[in-house]
Chains A and B, each alone.
Chain A
Amino acid sequence: MATIDYSSVKPQKPWRLDSKQLAINGAVFLLAVLLTPLFLNLTPLNGKLGASFIFVVLATIGNTVLSIVRQGFKTISTSIAASLIYLATALVLLPLASVLFTVASKGFTAVKLNTFTQDMRITNPDAPFTEGGALHAILGTFEIVLIATIICVPLGVLTALYLTEIKGRFENLVRFLVQAMSGVPSIVAGLFIYTVLIVTLGVNYSGIAGAFALSILMLPTVARTSEEVLKLIPNDLREAGVALGATQWRTVAMVVVPAAKSGILTAVILGVSRVAGETAPLLLTILGNTTNNLNPFSGPIAALPLYTFSLMKTGLDVAISRAWGGALILLTLVLILFITARLLSGKKR
């Protein structure tokens, strides 16, 4: 019996549209675009909202008519549903694009070289952009986030190790609580640190208080992401370590954690990007400042989100532009962290 060489047989996809049908699809789409201004004039609808509404309706009708012609009347619901699903995706991307575009364009005018070298101690919020800057806020954010990371990472990794290595009696309870903790409102975390440190223990507003508040918000992200990563480490590695006579502690410290190193780093970066932009807890714990404060253990300190927030609240035009500048720096920082985390985790898989 002759064998068939399957490598020469190309898989057929008869449901795919051929080029002629695709061209018709494109033509219908173009027709919808072209007819939109016409309907805009004929109907009482107007503006961008009216135009997009008419376009969506026209495109849906065109699409539906096409599918009726091709497949019969029973596919009406299918083509309408497809249009709505495409619309939903567009509605997700629209605000995101708008946020990114506005922050970039409005922030760009306010960010000058001196933004990174000066602070606001002698500058009025509505002075020209060539004076003053956000150095104090940038430094403050780095200090606070660094300390929060130092506090949070050991605790988060220990929690993840408890969930994956010890698997104790309370495994499910702990997992449940970590999930519950990720829903703690950021303002509550700030209020809690305020009650403990500032009201009860009498510590002043300081970077360390802000760092404690942020580490509460960071912990669930670090713990859950690290847990996911540690779960991916094959059990063979653990068994090999134990079989060589290592204690569990040596196995975890020398084999499991090093193997999960880049994943844990990703977890830390994700945690940092989660808290770097938090404003509410900082409002209650660090108070904000207009000058550099290099000592996170005493005195009010500035941070980028708070800088943006308080400048916006002044209501002055120039100050609001400065706030957009602060938002741009903050967004850039968060984006860099986010992309780094994606690249790290992408390489792994």
Chain B
Amino acid sequence: MTTTQTSYNGVVPKAREITTQPRFSDKVFRFVVTSGGFTSLIILSLIAIFLLQQGFPVLKDMGFGFITGFEWNPGDVDNGVPVQFGIGAMLIGTLLVSVIGLIIALPIAVGTALFLTYYAPDWIKKPLTITVDLMAAIPSVIYGLWGFFILMPHAVYWAKLLHNYLGFLPFFKMPADVFERSPFIAGIVVGIMIIPIITAISREVFSQVPLDRIQAAYALGATKWTMIRSVVLPFGSSGVAGGAMLGLGRAMGETIAIYLVLNIYFAPNFQVLFSAGGNVASLIVSKFGEAGEYELRGLMAAGLVLFIVTLLVNFLSNAIVKRTSRTGK
């Protein structure tokens, strides 16, 4: 043993030390990947910090009036018109349009998800799923263009029908005879845009329903619909709720499509068929071009509010979806 080692002229490679410590290259690797992993945290906090820093003067000057005020006026020093920035009407309008979109999208999306999981023949499932996903890939400017030129004439007709036959309902009343560019139409466009999101999440949840429960329902004599009502819908309801919230978040952040089909009006309007609505994102687009320095800060504060609201809605919906997929109920 010793002889062979000495005759080897001493270039034996040293055995590597056995250790649980990561090597230097791994330390670098872990550091790089970890810092890369925190990109989203950095970007999200930077967005909040910068928008707050820029918008702070306006938020300070306006106080709570920025959220509750209805007027957006850059002011006129010479004529004594005071500066007044309030996005109350825009926030109400954003919520109104999103809720209309959700009311339209939710039943259609859930129905489609049920069709895709339980009704469609196998050969049609995949192409149809891809087709629905395709709806999410269409740029929002195209939806806006389509909504303005193609959908609007039809939607105005539907709005008139609603007004004629259901006009006794408070939100279908009309202060004047203008049906174009109403929250109703914007709601339809947004609804179409969030259908694929809600469909995708509902489909995912419905496909996780345990097969034994489905078969148990059938064995007890359920028809397809009674099975869905007693097994699938209770199982999937909170997942669908999460998907709906996610869709709501998307709808609130939607910009260009709404800007093209909605008439921005600086007063709260709950008459959904009337041509006056509000939208925070569209406000930013419409005022950005001609805004002075102070007004720009106001727009950034509006952006901050929009950011925080959508972030909260998103947090909530992700929590709901996650809880569903973990516990299955």
Q: How large is the interface on A (under 10, 10 to 19, 20 to 34, 35 or more residues)?
A: 35 or more
Q: A129 at interface (Cβ–Cβ under 8 A)?
A: no
A161 touches B138 (CB 8 A): no
B115 touches A331 (CB 8 A): no
**Distance from B249 Cβ to chain A, minimum over Cβ atoms (Å):** 5
Point out the residues of chain B lying under 8 angstroms from A183, CB to CB.
246, 249-250, 253, 310-311, 313-314
Measured in the bound complex, the distance between the Cα atoms of B275 and A178 in whole Å is 37
Point out the residues of chain B lying under 8 angstroms from A103, CB to CB.
142, 145-146
Given A323-B145, A342-B130: A88 in contact with B41 (beta carbons within 8 A): no
| Surface stretch bound by B, among A4-12, A55-63, A277-285 | A277-285
Q: Which residue from A93, A192, A327 sits with its C-beta under 8 Å from B141?
A: A327
A219 touches B40 (CB 8 A): yes
Q: Which residue from A166, A196, A284 sits with its C-beta under 8 Å from B50?
A: A196
A177 touches B41 (CB 8 A): yes
Measured in the bound complex, the distance between the Cα atoms of B154 and A199 in whole Å is 43
Measured in the bound complex, the distance between the Cα atoms of B310 and A88 in whole Å is 28
Point out the residues of chain B lying under 8 angstroms from A279, CB to CB.
139-141, 255-256
Name A342's closest neighbour in chain B (CB-CB). B130
Q: For chain A, residues 201 to 253, give those with C-beta under 8 angstroms from any C-beta of chain B.
A: 216, 219-220, 223, 247-250, 252
Point out the residues of chain B lying under 8 angstroms from A219, CB to CB.
39-40, 43
A187 touches B37 (CB 8 A): no
A99 touches B223 (CB 8 A): no
Given A159-B36, A283-B285: A85 in contact with B256 (beta carbons within 8 A): no
Q: B269 at interface (Cβ–Cβ under 8 A)?
A: no
Interface centre among A85, A93, A283, A334 (most CB of B within 10 A): A85
**Distance from B123 Cβ to chain A, minimum over Cβ atoms (Å):** 15
**Distance from A255 Cβ to chain B, minimum over Cβ atoms (Å):** 14
Point out the residues of chain B lying under 8 angstroms from A294, CB to CB.
none
Name A327's closest neighbour in chain B (CB-CB). B142
**Distance from B16 Cβ to chain A, minimum over Cβ atoms (Å):** 8
Q: For chain A, residues 60 to 96, give those with C-beta under 8 angstroms from any C-beta of chain B.
A: 74-75, 77-78, 81-82, 84-89, 91-93, 95-96
Closest 4 pairs between A and B when the two form their complex, measured CB to CB: A277-B139, A158-B36, A88-B111, A185-B253
Spell out B's residues near A (CB within 8 Å): 22-23, 25-26, 28-30, 32-41, 43-44, 46-47, 50-51, 54, 107-112, 114-115, 119, 128, 130-135, 137-146, 148-151, 154, 157-158, 161, 192, 195, 199, 223-226, 228, 246, 249-250, 252-256, 260, 281, 284-285, 288, 296, 299-300, 303, 306-307, 310-311, 313-315, 318
Q: Could you list some 26 contacts between A and B, CB below 8 A? A: A78-B225, A85-B112, A85-B115, A88-B107, A92-B108, A92-B199, A95-B151, A96-B135, A99-B142, A155-B39, A158-B35, A158-B36, A174-B37, A174-B38, A179-B318, A181-B44, A184-B310, A185-B310, A192-B303, A195-B51, A249-B28, A278-B139, A308-B142, A309-B260, A324-B145, A327-B142
